[in-house]
Chains A and B, each alone.
Chain A
């Protein structure tokens, strides 16, 4: 699906961002290493080093296979990563994507690598929905608070029209 050009472009962009990151780390040595939340299980589906390096390739491969060919094996599925790695804390709260406590964000925030997975995919296991911090990413669009939501949005749309 992905052309050679795009792949290489992404790689080179990644290389550039890694270089930039290396630079910033040198300048600002105080940045703490990310604290990655522990998963539910004992062992990941692949060795940790392999996952760190290639998780994006695996996810992308799986994504295309599922989307276009209906392959629904679980091993490299994003849903499974989320259901194992995103867990409620002692207070029953779940970190959301974007917060350092979220498995994906813990590293991605640190590395400054932006991903758009969670614009479409849920960032928590289904059974934990409703238990996370309520984030208000941009405007007032909010999950379960319909009344607040509606008024604010109406006001917003009035401004625009």
Chain B
């Protein structure tokens, strides 16, 4: 949702560095944020649709800053068992069979508008928040893994073993399914997701913002340069878009 600037100025945080990229200057020294803090007691609304834009031309081969940032943000320590360890975000390398052209890009939950995981979930544990972020309510997830069968993006992981000392903003435990939360705990505070922040330190290949706001950085970039959806043929209208693929 786009908050009225006057409602809760105390909670508004002016972000330095990375997030400033996503702001527009209306007068010298005044920054009007497009990624804006939501008052704690206010429910999210569908006026906002959070999304991400990944410019694969800037995504560096061999760089895994987004992955590292995600793992540390969410406390995703693995057990050195790649087949069962959780991954919210991964770097995928593409090689064009015809031309041999190679590209790398991060893939995570694409936060579909019509999310197959939420459709197939028997208990409604997989759901889409009003602001477009797709989450798993682990309190009612029974661990059937039908969502993992349904997800076209391989974006989900099942917690295959006990977890201890979780981050308090990312509770996670054995027997439930999980995936990228778009750092919903940060977004609600008006901050960028951890991967975007990390990427913006050097390569600036990732943008986060409100797809419903025509003036947001992400919307303007998408309007100007376009952005592809992975598996657009499925018509899922994902919230994550790619340029340069």
Which residues of chain A from 60 to 98 have a CB within 8 Å of any chain B CB? Answer: 63-65, 67-74, 79, 82
What size tier do the contact residues of chain B reach?
35 or more
The A1-60 residues at the B interface (CB cut-off 8 A) are: 1
A-side contacts of B161, CB under 8 Å: 141
Q: How long is the Cα–Cα vector from A1 to B140 in the complex, in angstroms?
A: 10
Tell me whether B41 and A121 are in contact (CB under 8 A): no
Task: Using known A-B contacts A71-B43, A150-B79, determine if residue A120 contacts B162 with beta carbons closer than 8 Å.
Answer: no
* CA of A69 to CA of B189, assembled, Å: 14
Which single member of B127, B140, B168 contacts A122 (CB below 8 Å)? B168
Whether A122 lies near B165 (C-beta < 8 A) is yes
Closest to B176 in A: A120
| Secondary structure dominating the interface of A | loop
* A113 located at the interface, meaning its Cβ lies under 8 Å from any Cβ of chain B in the complex: no
The answer, yes or no, to whether B113 is at the interface (CB within 8 Å) is: no
| Chain A hits for B224, CB < 8 A | none
B119-133 vs A: 1/0 string, CB under 8 Å?
000001001011100
Say yes or no: B168 contacts A70, CB within 8 Å. Answer: no
* B171 with A120: CB separation less than 8 A: yes
**Interchain nearest-CB distance for B143 vs A (Å):** 12
Answer yes or no: B138 CB below 8 A from chain A CBs.
yes
The 7 closest A-B pairs by CB, nearest first: A120-B173, A69-B43, A119-B173, A120-B171, A70-B44, A72-B40, A121-B171
Smallest CB–CB gap between B1 and chain A, Å? 9
Given A120-B176, A121-B171, A71 and B165 touching (CB < 8 A)? no
B188 sits at the interface (CB 8 A):
yes
A70 touching B164 by the CB < 8 A rule?
no
B80 located at the interface, meaning its Cβ lies under 8 Å from any Cβ of chain A in the complex: yes
Check if B167 sits within 8 Å of A69, measured CB to CB: no
Expressed in whole angstroms, the minimum distance between the Cβ of B9 and any Cβ of chain A is: 18
Chain A residues within 8 Å of B167, by CB: 122, 126
A148 at the interface (CB under 8 A from B): no
Within 8 A of A (CB), among B28-45: 38, 40-44
Residues of A near B13 (CB, < 8 A) are: none
Taking A71-B40, A120-B171, A129-B165 as known contacts, 18 extra A-B pairs with beta carbons closer than 8 A to each other, sorted by chain A number, are: A65-B43, A67-B137, A67-B139, A68-B127, A69-B43, A70-B43, A70-B184, A72-B189, A73-B40, A119-B173, A120-B163, A121-B166, A122-B165, A125-B168, A143-B165, A149-B79, A150-B79, A153-B79
Q: Please judge, given known A-B contacts A68-B127, A69-B43, A71-B40, whether A121 and B168 are in contact too, CB under 8 Å.
A: yes
Chain B residue nearest to A135 in the complex (CB):
B164
Given the known A-B contacts A63-B139, A74-B40, A150-B80, are A68 and B129 also in contact in the complex, defined by CB atoms under 8 Å?
A: yes
CB pair A67–B40 under 8 Å, yes or no, is: no
Most A-side CB within 10 Å, residue of B138, B140, B171, B174: B171
The answer to whether B43 and A73 touch across the interface, beta carbons within 8 angstroms, is no
Min C-beta distance of A101 to chain B, whole Å: 18
Which of these, A69, A143, A153, contacts B164 with CB under 8 Å? Answer: A143
Residues of B close to A122: CB separation below 8 A: 165-168, 171
B126-167 to A contact mask, C-beta < 8 Å, 1/0:
010111000101111000000000000000000001111111
Inter-chain contacts of B131 with A (CB < 8 A): 70
A31 to B179, CA, bound (A): 45
Q: Which residue of B lies closest to A72 (CB)?
A: B40
**B49 within 8 A of partner (CB):** no
Interface residues of A in 110-152 (CB under 8 A from B): 119-122, 124-126, 129-130, 137-138, 141, 143, 149-150
User: How far is it, in angstroms, between the C-alpha of A121 and the C-alpha of B168 when the chains are bound?
Assistant: 7
